[in-house]
Amino acid sequence: MTQREIARLIDHSLLHPALTDIEIRQGCELARRCEVKAVCVKPYAISVAKDILKGSPVAICSVVGFPHGNSITMVKLRETQEALAAGAHEIDVVINIGKAKSGELEYVKEELRAINRACQRTAAPLKVIFETDFLTDAEVVALCQVATDVNVAYVKTSTGFGFVKQPGGNHSCNGATEHHVKLMRQHCASHIRIKASGGIRTLDDVLKFHALGCSRVGTSATEAILDEAKRRGDKEK
């Protein structure tokens, strides 16, 4: 793959809670310079991204219910509508994880259906974040069926902030794994695309998940990944 093809797989993530306004602007400028597929920003940063990316092929993606998915449906729906009105081209929404783990899949389905309808009015792809660190394989499979029934554009592994408490009391987050991506590809309808996100730091990570069937990867390590792609490309010439 060329460096440009790799860049067009990337959603450049600017979602860390401590990012400053300056860092968000710098991240958007990097996204524009590298011509990634999209820049993923918090809702209040849409206007900044819109200003910096004007005339650029880089899409603006906003998150909804991020990172824990706990807002009521009406709040998530309003957040979606406001983000689209502000200039977002795509939406990444976190499911209600507690409802999914409770087996309340109809709740999850109806929430996603309402949000997906709002996105379809502006032809905005909806990416549904499962937060796989918290889920059993059976729960992932069930959510794949929900996503298929609602006919969303993408399913997505993780927020990157799904830290699970370990027996020793510490917290860790696996993020995107080969196992979960394979499970999602096997159990979602073939036209639903997959976004791997969480812990993707290297070019080899990007290539691995692309080979497994991912159409997008979410990462904040965009510059390092594309620098490595350039170095490898130069060596092959």
Active site residue 50: no
Residue 74 and residue 86: Cα distance in Å, rounded? Answer: 18
Tell me which of 37, 76, 109, 156 is the catalytic residue.
156
Q: Report whether 38 contacts 11 (CB < 8 A).
A: yes
- Based on DSSP, count helices (H) and strands (E) in the chain, helices before strands: 10, 10
Q: Report whether 5 contacts 26 (CB < 8 A).
A: no
**Can you list the alpha helix ranges (DSSP code H) found in the chain?**
3-7, 21-34, 46-53, 73-86, 97-101, 105-120, 137-150, 178-187, 203-211, 222-236
Residue 15 and residue 26: Cα distance in Å, rounded? Answer: 13
Residue 163 and residue 67: Cα distance in Å, rounded? Answer: 11
Residue type, 203: L
Active site residue 92: yes
Residue 125, preceding bond cis, omega within 30 degrees?
A: no
Tell me which of 11, 37, 76, 92 is the catalytic residue.
92
Active site residue 195: yes
Tell me which of 127, 133, 195, 205 is the catalytic residue.
195
Residue 68 and residue 45: Cα distance in Å, rounded? Answer: 19
Question: Looking at the annotation, which residues are catalytic?
Answer: 92, 156, 195
